[in-house]
């Protein structure tokens, strides 16, 4: 009888299955505030076509010949003022990691649920974390862009990057993405409680409270981005929840970049103008930011205060983001449980 010489089948590596994953994703942070780290981070961030909607031929020379030669040093100096020196990382990474860890504890009774975090720009990357969750047996994954208000340059680019990573997988897990939750009652209530508690601890009564959101170019809004509308709805619902007279809570937009027109009113110009209008005692917060970061701690808490006081203001207080405090974690847990409906008992 002839001997069968066909090759033996290769053993497959162990395949894990039966798990569900939750991936919290925030904007990102550089690995350090030195110029090399800053240049690497800024290049990835500012090369995203969702962030800078200009033709490559027009933006490439501006980015590489001007921005990346001048901005890393300045941005690095700003990051140095708010850097978490104990862990040698930006506060955004510190808070996002903590949020993932606390969420896992809150969801702890579900043995088949894994929680992790990633950054759209910088480390840990979305691709690496999706692969890690799948390798641990996650057949279903909820991707949670940590942005209450939708914008193409935030929520959409997280989903873009996630699905680019999924395209490379032979065995792709089922995916759900978290929609905007700018008008969710749990989110509105958490903001209101944090504001009420902060103001109760001040030794003055703010005449105005400013909700400062990250801005987007006016052109993006004109092209159909709902972000501007989402921000104003958050403010309106929050004002109603607080029971304040109309006008005490103001909506402004910060973090302008480039020379084109952005959605208004601008936060810095508002801070300059209020004292001349007789408004000299204010508080300010950032409802569009889930965690405190460069734009809240340096731009608003430090620079914003300097601007306001230099123009005649008397009292200024920055209200921290929800971060990993209980109110903030209530929001994240609420959204995750909602999006896990039908997947998790």
How far apart are alpha carbons 96 and 232 in whole angstroms? 26
> Of all helices (H) and strands (E), which one includes residue 321?
none
With respect to residue 199, please indicate whether it lies within any of the assigned structural domains.
yes
Supply the pLDDT for residue 73.
96
Q: Residue 13: which pLDDT band, with cuts at 50, 70 and 90?
A: low
Average pLDDT score over residue span 12-41? 90
Q: Residue 7: which pLDDT band, with cuts at 50, 70 and 90?
A: low
Q: What angle do CA 303, 304, 310 make, to 5 degrees?
A: 90
Q: Residue 264: which pLDDT band, with cuts at 50, 70 and 90?
A: very high
How far apart are alpha carbons 324 and 333 in whole angstroms? 11
Tokens of 269: 């110009």
3-class state of residue 274 by DSSP: helix
With respect to residue 252, please indicate whether it lies within any of the assigned structural domains.
yes
CA dihedral 55, 59, 64, 70 (to 10 degrees): -160
Average pLDDT score over residue span 123-139? 96
List, for residues 100-115, the tens digit of each pLDDT value: 999 999 998 888 999 9
Supply the pLDDT for residue 148.
98
With respect to residue 88, please indicate whether it lies within any of the assigned structural domains.
no
With respect to residue 156, please indicate whether it lies within any of the assigned structural domains.
no
Say whether pLDDT at 15 is over 90.
no
Locate the DSSP E strands across 215-302: 249-254, 281-285
How far CA 175 is from CA of 23, 25, 26, 178, 269, in Å, comes to: 11, 14, 18, 10, 42
How far apart are alpha carbons 127 and 257 in whole angstroms? 28
Q: Residue 3: which pLDDT band, with cuts at 50, 70 and 90?
A: low
With respect to residue 264, please indicate whether it lies within any of the assigned structural domains.
yes
Closest C-alpha among 329, 145, 307 to residue 210: 307
Supply the pLDDT for residue 258.
85
How far apart are alpha carbons 45 and 42 in whole angstroms? 5
List, for residues 202-213, the tens digit of each pLDDT value: 999 999 999 999
Supply the pLDDT for residue 111.
83
Q: Buried b vs exposed e over 55-82: b needs ≥16 C-beta within 10 Å?
A: eeeebeeebeeebbeebbeebbebbeeb
Average pLDDT score over residue span 303-330? 98
Q: Per the structure, how many domains does the chain have? A: 1
Supply the pLDDT for residue 4.
56
Say whether pLDDT at 345 is over 90.
no
Say whether pLDDT at 11 is over 70.
no
Q: pLDDT: is 251 or 1 the higher one?
A: 251
Residue 292: what are its φ and ψ, rounded to 5°?
Answer: -65, 145
The domain in which residue 225 lies consists of: 185-318
List, for residues 165-212, the tens digit of each pLDDT value: 999 999 999 999 999 999 999 999 999 999 999 999 999 999 999 999
CA dihedral 70, 72, 73, 76 (to 10 degrees): 150
CATH of the domain at 238: 3.40.50.1400
Rounded to 10 deg, the angle between the 91-106 and 326-339 helix axes is: 60
With respect to residue 216, please indicate whether it lies within any of the assigned structural domains.
yes
How far CA 41 is from CA of 62, 76, 251, 295, in Å, comes to: 16, 11, 30, 16
With respect to residue 93, please indicate whether it lies within any of the assigned structural domains.
no
The rounded mean pLDDT for the chain is: 95
With respect to residue 22, please indicate whether it lies within any of the assigned structural domains.
no
Left, alpha or beta for 257 (phi > 0: left; psi -120 to 50: alpha)?
beta
State the number of CA atoms in the 13 A half-sphere of 261 facing the CB. 7
Share of the chain above pLDDT 70, in %: 96
Q: Are 119 and 96 in contact (CB under 8 A)?
A: yes
Say whether pLDDT at 14 is over 80.
no
Q: Residue 6: which pLDDT band, with cuts at 50, 70 and 90?
A: low
């Amino acid at each position: 009888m002839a001997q069968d010489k066909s090759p033996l089948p290769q053993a497959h590596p162990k395949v894990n299955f039966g798990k569900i994953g939750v991936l919290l994703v925030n904007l990102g942070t550089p690995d350090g505030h030195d110029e090399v780290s800053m240049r690497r981070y800024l290049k990835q961030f500012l090369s995203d076509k969702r962030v800078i909607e200009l033709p490559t031929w027009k933006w490439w020379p501006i980015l590489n010949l001007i921005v990346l030669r001048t901005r890393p040093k300045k941005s690095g100096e700003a990051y140095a003022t708010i850097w978490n020196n104990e862990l040698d990382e930006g506060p955004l990474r510190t808070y996002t990691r903590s949020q993932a860890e606390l969420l896992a504890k809150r969801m702890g009774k579900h043995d088949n649920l894994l929680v992790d975090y990633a950054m759209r720009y910088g480390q840990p990357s979305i691709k690496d974390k999706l692969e890690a969750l799948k390798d641990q047996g996650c057949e279903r994954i909820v991707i949670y862009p940590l942005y209450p208000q939708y914008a193409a340059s935030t929520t959409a680019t997280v989903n873009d990057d996630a699905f680019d990573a999924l395209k490379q997988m032979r065995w792709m897990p089922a995916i759900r993405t978290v929609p905007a939750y700018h008008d969710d009652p749990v989110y509105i209530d958490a903001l209101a409680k944090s504001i009420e508690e902060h103001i109760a601890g001040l030794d003055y009564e703010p005449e105005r409270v400013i909700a400062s959101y990250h801005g987007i170019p006016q052109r993006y809004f004109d092209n159909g981005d709902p972000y501007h509308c989402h921000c104003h709805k958050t403010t309106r619902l929050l004002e109603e929840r607080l029971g304040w007279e109309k006008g005490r809570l103001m909506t402004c937009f910060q973090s302008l970049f480039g020379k084109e027109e952005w959605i208004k009113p601008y936060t810095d110009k508002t801070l300059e103008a209020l004292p001349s209008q007789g408004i000299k005692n204010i508080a300010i917060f950032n409802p569009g930011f889930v965690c405190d970061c460069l734009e809240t701690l340096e731009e608003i808490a430090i620079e914003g205060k300097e601007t306001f006081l230099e123009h005649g203001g008397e009292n200024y207080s920055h209200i921290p983001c929800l971060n990993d405090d209980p109110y903030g974690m209530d929001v994240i847990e609420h959204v995750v449980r909602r999006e896990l409906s039908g997947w998790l008992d």
